[in-house]
Amino acid sequence: PAPVRRLDYRPPAYLVESVDLTFELDPARTRVTARTVLLPQRTDGEAEPLRLDGRDLALESVRLNGRELGPGDYTLGADALVLPPQAGRTVLDVVTVVEPKANTALTGLYASGGTLLTQCEPEGFRRITYYPDRPDVLAVYTCRLVADEEEFPVLLSNGDRRDSGRLPDGRHWVTWADPHPKPSYLFALVAGRLGHIEDSYRTRSGRDVQVRVYAREGALPRCAHALGAAKRAMAWDEERFGLEYDLDTYTLVGVDDFNMGAMENKGLNIFNSLYLEADPETATDDDFAAVDTVVAHEYFHNWTGNRVTCRDMFQLSLKEGLAVYRDERFSGDLRGPGVQRVRDVRALRERQFAEDAGPQAHPVRPDEYQEISNFYTWTVYKKGSEVIRMLHTLFGEEGFRRGLRLYVSRHDGQAATCDQFVAAMAEANGADLTQFMRWYGQAGTPVLDVEPVYDAAARTYTLVVRQSCPPTPKQPAKEPLHVPLAVALLDPDGRRVPLRLTHEDAPSGTERVLELRQPVTTFTFADVPARPVPSLLRGFSAPVRMRMPLTSEERILLAAHDDDPFVRWESLHGYLTELLLGRYRAGDAEPAPLPPALTDALARLLRPEEPEPALAALMLELPGFDTLFGALDEVDPVRLAEVLRATREELARTLYEPLLECHRRLDDGRPYVFDAERSGRRALKNGCLSYLAELDTPEVAALLHRQYERADNMTDRLAALTALADRGDGDGVLEEFGRRWREHPLVLDKWFTVHARSRRPDALARVRRLMDHPVFSETNPNRVGALIIAFCFENPLRFHAADGSGYAFAAEQILRLDAVNPAVAARLAGCFNSWPSLDPSRRETVLRTLQVIEGSEGLSPETSEIVGNASV
C-alpha cells in the first residue's frame, strides 16, 4: 500500500458537531447505530464528497437528513463509505453490525473473557461505525449501551453516567455523556460482569471526583495499589502543573486481553490487567512500580493527549513523549529521581538506541508510515520524552512549567502539532527553538566526541565537543542539533570546582548546562587549579552517545564520588562495557584477570555505608547483551552471551564473600512493604543472589532454595526461581511454581518467561512444549509476550542458535500469529531487526527467513511493513 505522508496533511472537509451512539451489545453480533451531525468546511468553491472511514463492517442502513439511502446513493469500498458532497449541516444515521467475539485483532469492539470492550486508538473506531476517523475531528459524544443485564451488569463509557433503565426482555441500558469534544480514538465502552473498588478525590478547587477501579471480582483485592496510584497522579499533576481532573468520575478498568499497556480513553482508562493488579504475593517490586507509572501515564493524558490532542498521527509524540516525560518525573518523585533516571536511561539505550541504529529507524515525528499501529515505538515514546526533558534542562522547572501551561491553555480543546508545543515553550521562555525542532525530524542517535585539554600553565580546561549523527534509512546526511550538555568538573577528591568560562567575569555555580549548536564547539574554563575529572552529560542531559577518553581511575572516581547518580552509574557501566567488549574481541584468548580497582569498586557497593542500595543494585549489574551487541559488528551472539556469563561467574567468584555478606545483611526478615527504600534493598539483595547463583557451592544452593521457600513476596520468590532456573538443582522449584500458580495467568507469565530466557540447551524445546500448556493462549498478547516474544528477544543464546532453529521458530510463529493478531505478529517480527550486525552466516539465514515471511500469502500490512523495512 502507498505510504501516508506527513506533508500531505489537509484539514478535514467535514467537522462533526455531535455523535450519538447506541450499542445493542451481543458478543456474536453487535448492532451499532450512529447519528453523526456533520458540518462541511470548505467555503472556497465546491464541497467535497463526504468520506467516512470504515473497515470490516456489515452496513445495515444509511439515512441522510432523515432519508433512507440505497446502494446507488453512495459508494461502499473496503475502507470507506463515500457520499456525494453535502452543502450544509448534515445528519447521518448509520447502522452497522460487528462481531466482537470473532475479533482476535483486539482493535475496534472485541471480547476479553466475558467482557466486551473497545480499543479505538489509532484506527479502531472505523471498525465500529463509518466515521471521519482522524484525530483532528473533535466531537461531543453520547453513548447508549443496551445489553443483557445478567451477562453484562456493568455498562461503562466516556464522561459521566446520565441515565439508565430496564427493558422487558431482560436487557438493561445506560447512557453516558461526555461534555468534552474528543477525537474518535478516545471513544470507549466496557460491558461485563465486573466488580469495583472506589475512593473519592477532592480536587484543589474543591470538586469531588469518584475514582473507581473495575476488574473481575477475583482481581479486586489486587487493585488497591492502582486506585492509590490514580489518586497520587491526580495530586501530582495539580501540584506540578496546576492541572485538575475535569469530570465527576474517573474510571479505570482492567482486562486480560489487550494489545498494549493501557489506553487513555476520556474518563474511562482501560488497562492491561498486568498494569492494574498488584499485591505482594503475586507482583514484584517492578510490577508495583509499573502500575504506578502506567496509571499515571494514562491519567496524565487527560490534559496532554485528550484536552489537547494531536492534529494527525504523525504528531503522536506530542502526546506520548510528553506523557512518558510526565510519568518518568512522577515515578522519580516516588522512588527517587536518580534511580528512576538510571532505569529510564538504561531502557532507552538498550531499546531506542537499537531501534535508531536499525532498519526501522525513524524520527520522533515520522514523515511517513504504512501502518500507524507500527509507530508506537521506543523512538516516539522514549526519545520523544528525552526531547521534552531537554526543554526542561534548558529552561529549568519554572520555565518548563510556564511553557506547558501556555501550551495547554492556548490549545485546550484543539488538535495540536509538535511545532505548536515547541512554539509555546519558546514563547514562554523568550527562546529561539528553530534549531531544536530538528530533534523531531532527524532520526539516528547523535554522537558527541569530547576532547579535553588541560593547560596547567594557563590553569584552563578546554572541552572540544564534536557532534555527528550516523545516516539512517532515507536520511543520509544530518544537520547539527541544539544539544544541552550538563557539566561539572571534579577535583581529585571528587569535589565540584566553581565554573567560569574564559569570557565570563566571575564563576557561577559548579554545574552548568552548555549548549551545542555547531558541529564543533569549544568551551574553556578558567581558574582550574589542577587537571579535573569531567562529569559530563549529567542526568543524561541529551539522548546521545558520548565518547570521551577517561582513564580507569577517573571512571572509578566518578563512580565513587560524583553526586550525579547517572554519571556514577555510567562511569562504572562504561568501564564494564569496555571490559566485556575487550574480552569478546579477544576471542578464545584467556581473558586478563578482572582489574582489582574494578572489583574493589563493585565490592564497595555492597557495603552498609553505600547510601542508596537501589542505585548500587543498578551499578552492580553488567551491561546488557543488547548494549554490547549495539557496539559491535559481525557479532557472534552466542559467543557474546558466553562472555557475559563467564564474566558474571568470575565476578561472583571474586566477590563471593562480600556478595554473601550483603545478601545476609539485607535479608532482614521484615514483612514485605512496597516502598522506595525497601524495594531498593530487595533489588540489591537479589542482585547479589543472581551473581551467587553462577556458583555451584552447597552454601549457594541452600541459600537459593531457602529464599524460594521462605519468601513472603513475589519479588524474592521470583528472584530465587530465576536464579535457580539455569541450574541443575532448579527443576523441582520450577515445577512447584508452575503448579502453585496454575490458576493465575499473570503469575504464570513470569514462569513462562523464566523458561523462555533460560540458558539451558533445550530452552526452545521447552518453549514449544509450554505452548500446549492449558493457560497458554495464542490470542492473548500477554501470554505470547511472556513465552514466544520473550524467547526471541531475550534469549540471545538460544534464539541465535547456529543451526537456525531459533530463526525458524520465530518465522513460524510470526506467520501463525499474523492471522490471529497482526499487531502482535508485527511486534514479534522486530526480532530480526538486528540482522545487519550479525556475522555473515547468520545474516544470510535471517535474510532468507525474512524473504520467506515476506513472500507468504495474505500477510497483514502491519507485519509486511516491519519485514519489508528489515529486508531492504
Q: Which residues are catalytic?
A: 298
Query: CA-based angle 852:857:861, to the nearest 5?
Result: 95
Applying CB under 5 A, the span of 34-42, 322-330, 567-575, 750-758 interacting with Zn ion comes to 322-330
320 is an interface residue for ligand HT7 by CB under 6 A: yes
In whole angstroms, the minimum distance from the beta carbon of 123 to ligand HT7 comes to 9
Closer residue to ligand HT7, CB minimum distance, 259 or 352: 259
**Residue 94 to residue 69: CA distance in whole angstroms:** 10
CA 457, 458, 461, 462 torsion-angle sign: negative
Closer residue to Zn ion, CB minimum distance, 440 or 832: 440
Query: CA-based angle 230:125:150, to the nearest 5?
Result: 70
249 is an interface residue for ligand HT7 by CB under 6 A: no
In whole angstroms, the minimum distance from the beta carbon of 328 to ligand HT7 comes to 13
In whole angstroms, the minimum distance from the beta carbon of 784 to Zn ion comes to 22
Residue 782 interacts with, from ligand HT7, Zn ion, none (CB under 5-8 Å by kind):
none
Q: Which position among 251, 306, 309, 373 is part of the footprint of ligand HT7 (CB under 6 A)?
A: 373
Closer residue to Zn ion, CB minimum distance, 320 or 749: 320
Cell of 386: 528525552
Applying CB under 6 A, the span of 296-304, 647-655, 682-690, 846-854 interacting with ligand HT7 comes to 296-304
323 is an interface residue for Zn ion by CB under 5 A: yes
DSSP string, 428-471: HHT---TTTTHHHH--S--EEEEEEEEETTTTEEEEEEEEE---
Measure Cα distances from 269 to 168, 214, 296 in Å.
Answer: 32, 10, 11
Residues ≥6 apart with Cβ < 8 Å to 25: 116, 145, 146, 147, 148, 152, 155, 191
Interface characters, 804-843, with ligand HT7 (x: CB under 6 A): -------------------x--------------------
In whole angstroms, the minimum distance from the beta carbon of 113 to Zn ion comes to 25
Q: Is the peptide bond before 611 cis (omega within 30 degrees of 0)?
A: no
Q: Which position among 9, 241, 376, 454 is part of the footprint of ligand HT7 (CB under 6 A)?
A: 376
Closer residue to ligand HT7, CB minimum distance, 86 or 259: 259
Longest dimension (CA), the chain: 95
Q: At what angle do helices 805-818 and 822-829 cross, to 10 degrees?
A: 160
Applying CB under 5 A, the span of 314-322, 488-496, 520-528, 761-769 interacting with Zn ion comes to 314-322
Residue 122 interacts with, from ligand HT7, Zn ion, none (CB under 5-8 Å by kind):
ligand HT7
Site residues for ligand HT7, window 116-135 (CB under 6 A)? 119, 121-122
Residues linked to residue 213 through DSSP beta bridges, in sequence order: 197, 252
- With CB atoms as reference, the residue minimizing the distance to ligand HT7 is 260
Beta strands in 126-234 (DSSP E): 139-148, 154-157, 160-166, 171-182, 189-192, 195-202, 208-215
Residue 256 interacts with, from Zn ion, ligand HT7, none (CB under 5-8 Å by kind):
none
Measure Cα distances from 791 to 587, 591, 725, 797 in Å.
Answer: 26, 29, 15, 10
Q: Which position among 320, 355, 612, 862 is part of the footprint of Zn ion (CB under 5 A)?
A: 320
Pairing of strands 108-112, 309-310: unpaired
- Identify which of 612, 630, 618, 692 has the alpha carbon closest to the alpha carbon of residue 657: 692
In whole angstroms, the minimum distance from the beta carbon of 144 to ligand HT7 comes to 25
467 is an interface residue for ligand HT7 by CB under 6 A: no
Owner of C-alpha cell 523464566: 754
Residue 821 interacts with, from ligand HT7, Zn ion, none (CB under 5-8 Å by kind):
none
Measure Cα distances from 94 to 33, 39, 761 in Å.
Answer: 6, 17, 57
121 is an interface residue for Zn ion by CB under 5 A: no
Site residues for Zn ion, window 739-758 (CB under 5 A)? none
Give me the amino acid identity at 688: C
- Contact criterion met (CB below 8 Å) for 486 and 511: yes
- Containing 710, the helix (H) or strand (E) segment is helix 698-710
**Residue 518 to residue 60: CA distance in whole angstroms:** 61
**Residue 329 to residue 400: CA distance in whole angstroms:** 13
316 is an interface residue for Zn ion by CB under 5 A: no
Q: Which position among 298, 562, 564, 862 is part of the footprint of ligand HT7 (CB under 6 A)?
A: 298
Residue 827 interacts with, from ligand HT7, Zn ion, none (CB under 5-8 Å by kind):
none
297 is an interface residue for ligand HT7 by CB under 6 A: yes
In whole angstroms, the minimum distance from the beta carbon of 256 to ligand HT7 comes to 14
Closer residue to Zn ion, CB minimum distance, 191 or 380: 380
Which DSSP state fits 472? B
272 is an interface residue for ligand HT7 by CB under 6 A: no
In whole angstroms, the minimum distance from the beta carbon of 303 to Zn ion comes to 12
717 is an interface residue for ligand HT7 by CB under 6 A: no
- Site for Zn ion (CB under 5 A): how many residues? 2
Cell of 254: 482492567
Q: Which position among 260, 290, 546, 560 is part of the footprint of ligand HT7 (CB under 6 A)?
A: 260
- Site for ligand HT7 (CB under 6 A): how many residues? 15
In whole angstroms, the minimum distance from the beta carbon of 409 to ligand HT7 comes to 23
- With CB atoms as reference, the residue minimizing the distance to Zn ion is 323
**Residue 24 to residue 146: CA distance in whole angstroms:** 5
605 is an interface residue for Zn ion by CB under 5 A: no
263 is an interface residue for ligand HT7 by CB under 6 A: yes
Applying CB under 6 A, the span of 262-270, 733-741, 751-759, 806-814 interacting with ligand HT7 comes to 262-270
Closer residue to Zn ion, CB minimum distance, 108 or 305: 305
Residue 376 interacts with, from Zn ion, ligand HT7, none (CB under 5-8 Å by kind):
ligand HT7
Q: Residue 82 half-sphere exposure, CB side, CA atoms within 13 Å?
A: 9
Which DSSP state fits 308? B
Which DSSP state fits 248? S
Other C-beta atoms lying within 10 Å of the C-beta of residue 840 = 8
Residues ≥6 apart with Cβ < 8 Å to 507: 498, 499, 500, 527
Query: CA-based angle 317:319:322, to the nearest 5?
Result: 85
**Residue 80 to residue 55: CA distance in whole angstroms:** 7
CA 403, 409, 410, 412 torsion-angle sign: positive
**Residue 87 to residue 525: CA distance in whole angstroms:** 68
Interface characters, 264-303, with Zn ion (x: CB under 5 A): ----------------------------------------
Interface characters, 346-375, with Zn ion (x: CB under 5 A): ------------------------------
Applying CB under 5 A, the span of 37-45, 318-326, 417-425, 703-711 interacting with Zn ion comes to 318-326
**Residue 121 to residue 19: CA distance in whole angstroms:** 17
Closer residue to ligand HT7, CB minimum distance, 184 or 849: 184
- Contact criterion met (CB below 8 Å) for 105 and 821: yes
Applying CB under 5 A, the span of 184-192, 323-331, 357-365, 387-395 interacting with Zn ion comes to 323-331
Closer residue to Zn ion, CB minimum distance, 262 or 557: 262
496 is an interface residue for ligand HT7 by CB under 6 A: no
Closer residue to Zn ion, CB minimum distance, 294 or 428: 294
327 is an interface residue for ligand HT7 by CB under 6 A: no
**Residue 235 to residue 274: CA distance in whole angstroms:** 24
Closer residue to Zn ion, CB minimum distance, 380 or 615: 380
Cell of 788: 514466544
Q: Return residues touching Zn ion (CB under 5 A).
A: 320, 323
Q: In the complex, which residues of this chain contact ligand HT7 (CB under 6 A)?
A: 119, 121-122, 259-260, 262-264, 297-298, 301, 320, 373, 376, 823
